[in-house]
Structure 1
Amino acid sequence: MTTITPFAAGSYITNRNASQLLTLKNQLNDLSNQLSSGQVSQTYGGLGSGRSTALAAQATLSALNGYASGITAAQTRTNLAVTSLTQVASIGTSTASTLQNGLQSVAANSVSGRATALANLQTVLDTLNQSAAGNYLFGGTNTETQPVLDANTILNGSTDSTGQTLDGLTDVINERVSAQLGTQGNGRLTQSASTAIPIQVTEESNPGTRGNFGFTLGSTATATGALTASVSSTVPATLTVNLTSASAQPAPGDSISFSLVTPEGTSTTITLTAATSVVAGSNSTFAIGANSAETMKNLSDTLTKALTGAASSTLAVKATADAATQFFSGSVNGGPGGNGVIPQRVVYSGTNPVGYASPDPNTTVLWYQGENTYDTSKTPPEPTSAIDTQSVQVSATGTVGTGARANTPEIQNVLAGLATMAYALPTTNDASTYNTYQAVATKAGGLLASASQTPSVQDTVTQLTIASARLSNASTTNKATQNTVQNTLDGIEQASPEEVITKLLDVQNRLQASYQVTSTLSKLSLVNYIS
């Protein structure tokens, strides 16, 4: 008789027992793996209904780890930028204070003030090349290029790859000052010989030069006593100073006054007063001589000192400040037209400066090499926000700006103020020294005020400090979130050792009992049963 095995007598019970033993064996293996690995399962499929939650938690943790890495790097950059700009602000503020205090002893502080300002200028330039992990901090979006040239190149110029000489700050300032002062150092005025009677001072004859450089004469002049003074209505105008008669002599206190006008329209009044005795080198009083010719020569010599003194304390200082400001506006990249920003340079007709040249990048060192994007939708175009040039993702929806540029207007002003001090403070001690020093204190002090007065370098420090605080707060929030998500994930993926051991012992006992019963049943026969 043929027997179908699956339906043989007793086969069902045997198969069911084998299946139960196999199930217990699998449970024993799973529990052993859980005990050794500490994980509920080696696959997400083994987590059952918790698999979706575990997958979402893992994605969240991965994102949080990425945010933490970005925040750590950004905090390092931001804190270094804060330290660097704090130093820039401190240098600007302390230098301005030193400059003002120097008015108490001008002669002693001029030379040291120049040296200090130049050293501080070099320090600020070096500070603006700060980097973190190989990335420069003050180049905007461009973190790979050194944003600021070395101080020596900036000050003294260089030669480009084609052999073209590029003028540095020193040459740019000297050019502008020379154009304003002229060969006589008196604001491009022409004065008659010291023995000439009457004394005459004439404006620059070249109309292009006269409109842009040097002094022009105010429309009126006054005189008292035996002195006369008048300004012609012709162009170029002439100041004429004389005595009321060939034999007349001024009395002590008699004076002449006239004004000198700068190209910007501001005026400086010159007053020369007769006296019986005069301090050597005076530029405001002249000695009454033994005769009218000697008196007029003394007046002419004092007038020469007055004109050069006014030029050195008015034109030269302003020219230095303007040239420095122009120079530090320069940039290789960006600008309103996207082709960089070229400092303004003087253009000549023969030997006469007649205006300012069209921008030419092949003439001047461009000190700033970093990113310099402008918003051309505005009129006039404006630089884009420096702090937004770099940003870090701190959450799924949050970013924090951490960028900075070395050429923001506030930093440019501090650099220009230091340069004005370094190049315009008087180097000699004469009657014009105090006025020149005071002019520098006014001009440079106004520029250096950008270190602390709004808008200022300190404002940028505050922005970056707030950014650093936001990064810290985001880091704290992310860590708290990370702990919560990790606890949730652990609850799903991690197996409790105590629970696993209890289940493992239970399965072992059940499996052992099953084996014993099965073994006993396997030995059962009709003979054993009857006996």
Structure 2
Amino acid sequence: MINFTSIGDLARGMRLQTRSVELRNQIETLSYELVSGKVQDVSGRLDGDYSHLLDLDRSLSRLDAFKVSTAEARLFTDATQLSLTTVNDSVDEVAATLLSFGTSNQAVSHENASALARNELDTIMSALNQRAGGRSLYSGTATDVSPLASADTLLSALEGELSGHTSAVDIRQAAEDWFNDPAGFDAVIYQGSDTALAPMQVSENESVQIPITATDPALKDAMRDIAVAALLSDDALNLPRDLRTSLFRQLGGDLANTQNQLVNLRGQVGSAQARIEQAATRNSAARTSLEFSRNELIAANPEETATKLQTVQVQLESLYSVTVRNSNLSLVNFLR
């Protein structure tokens, strides 16, 4: 004999359980949408057409890549500008000192001038050997190596070229010839690449290039004249005091002129820095616009979602109340 009452109770229990699961799933979905601000059923919101959303995601991914490359370009150019500032300051210090000391025909003044030149030469070459993000600033495409050998190596090589010359013209010409000779400075001291660093892409249609290497004429001129000044008081050259005085004065004047070339280099880097900042600003504005459009596609209305969540929670609480009451029903309780 079939107990119809039992079948009815079982069916009622199953219906209550199914409804409970549905309400809990709705609460989970609405809670996610309320917290994330996005609809969980993206496909339903877009009617299965993801083309616009995918296009927005691709554009955002490109902007993410540009954000990284722009940050790297900013780091590189900032470090380059800082190093050029160091070079310029050293050239300014040596130029002023040589012009000042060059008016005195005293050996001690000459020795002080040469000592200062040695120190500043080391400062300049160290600045040009700096790295940013693990990349050398002035080595061209050979970013894994420092562009310059040591100042001691430079002075030792140059001293051999200057030995035996006894006039200001010959000494300066010998130094200039060695620095311009491919088998001279470029082979003995420069360790980087002859190929300039590739442009850095900072936006969809814009790139920035810093083609400066340690063989740039302005940098070589500065190192050449300061290196000569560092060697003038060397006993191995055995130069007369009057000749040293004349050379110090000439070198000081030329270094003062070299500063104009350094200003041009710093201007090039400054222009690149400005373009990088402009590109970064444009990229940020584009990203904000794209993110707004993307959110508009899949955003969940917070007020509407909160209202629905509250409604479903009330329904679930009511369902639990009904379930409890049904579970307490029995013939004994009914007959009381």
Superposition TM-score tier, normalisation by shorter sequence: 0.7 to 0.9
The 1-side partners of 2:135 and 2:228 are apart by 31
- Say which structure is richer in helix: 2
Counterparts in 2 of 1:329 and 1:501: CA distance versus 1, 3 Å = same
Alignment of 1:471-490 (within 5 A): 471-490=276-295
The 2-side partners of 1:63 and 1:393 are apart by 11
Report the counterpart of residue 327 of structure 1 in structure 2.
Answer: 178
Point out the structure with max Rg over C-alpha: 1
Report the counterpart of residue 369 of structure 1 in structure 2.
Answer: 191
Partner secondary structure for residue 50 of structure 2:
helix
Report the counterpart of residue 493 of structure 1 in structure 2.
Answer: 298
Report the counterpart of residue 192 of structure 1 in structure 2.
Answer: none
Report the counterpart of residue 408 of structure 1 in structure 2.
Answer: 216
| Residue identity (%) | 26
Report the counterpart of residue 5 of structure 2 in structure 1.
Answer: none
The 2-side partners of 1:171 and 1:44 are apart by 78
Partner secondary structure for residue 188 of structure 2:
coil
Counterparts in 2 of 1:503 and 1:393: CA distance versus 1, 3 Å = same
Counterparts in 2 of 1:496 and 1:35: CA distance versus 1, 3 Å = farther
Aligned partners of 1:425 and 1:437 also within 8 Å: no
Report the counterpart of residue 343 of structure 1 in structure 2.
Answer: 184
Are 1:69 and 2:58 matched, yes or no? no
Are 1:418 and 2:269 matched, yes or no? no
Question: Structure 1 residue aligned with 2:269, among 442, 464, 478?
Answer: 464
Counterparts in 2 of 1:153 and 1:476: CA distance versus 1, 3 Å = same
Aligned partners of 1:414 and 1:451 also within 8 Å: yes
Aligned partners of 1:325 and 1:412 also within 8 Å: no
The 2-side partners of 1:482 and 1:365 are apart by 47
Aligned partners of 2:70 and 2:202 also within 8 Å: yes
Report the counterpart of residue 109 of structure 2 in structure 1.
Answer: 109
Aligned partners of 1:61 and 1:482 also within 8 Å: yes
Report the counterpart of residue 124 of structure 1 in structure 2.
Answer: 124
- Segments of structure 2 that go 5 or more residues without pairing to the other structure are 1-17, 319-336
Partner secondary structure for residue 200 of structure 2:
strand
1:321 to partner: Cα distance: 2.1
Aligned partners of 1:54 and 1:489 also within 8 Å: yes
- Say which structure is richer in strand: 1
Question: Structure 2 residue aligned with 1:170, among 141, 159, 171?
Answer: 159
Counterparts in 2 of 1:30 and 1:106: CA distance versus 1, 3 Å = farther
Report the counterpart of residue 133 of structure 1 in structure 2.
Answer: 133
The 1-side partners of 2:244 and 2:129 are apart by 33
1:452 to partner: Cα distance: 1.6
Report the counterpart of residue 448 of structure 1 in structure 2.
Answer: 255
The 2-side partners of 1:87 and 1:439 are apart by 24
Counterparts in 2 of 1:417 and 1:45: CA distance versus 1, 3 Å = farther
1:34 to partner: Cα distance: 4.3
Question: Structure 2 residue aligned with 1:35, among 8, 31, 43?
Answer: 31
Aligned partners of 1:426 and 1:436 also within 8 Å: no
Aligned partners of 1:392 and 1:400 also within 8 Å: yes
Aligned partners of 2:99 and 2:248 also within 8 Å: no
The 2-side partners of 1:116 and 1:441 are apart by 15
> What do residues 213-242 of structure 1 show as CA deviations (whole Å, max 9, x unaligned)?
xxxxxxxxxxxxxxxxxxxxxxxxxxxxxx
Alignment of 1:240-259 (within 5 A): none
Aligned partners of 1:28 and 1:504 also within 8 Å: no
> What do residues 31-85 of structure 1 show as CA deviations (whole Å, max 9, x unaligned)?
7424325321355565337733322221121111111111112111111111111
The 1-side partners of 2:83 and 2:90 are apart by 11
Report the counterpart of residue 318 of structure 1 in structure 2.
Answer: 169
1:155 to partner: Cα distance: 2.7
Question: Structure 2 residue aligned with 1:394, among 193, 202, 211?
Answer: 202
The 2-side partners of 1:484 and 1:87 are apart by 41
Aligned partners of 1:117 and 1:418 also within 8 Å: yes
Report the counterpart of residue 147 of structure 1 in structure 2.
Answer: 147
TM-score, length-normalised on structure 1?
A: 0.50
RCO (CA 8 Å, sep 6+): is it higher in 1 or 2? 2
Aligned residues: 295
1:421 to partner: Cα distance: 1.2
The 1-side partners of 2:71 and 2:281 are apart by 12
TM-score, length-normalised on structure 2?
A: 0.76
> What do residues 285-343 of structure 1 show as CA deviations (whole Å, max 9, x unaligned)?
xxxxxxxxxxxxxxxxxxxxxxxxxxx4xx2x33332333333335xxxxxxxxxx212
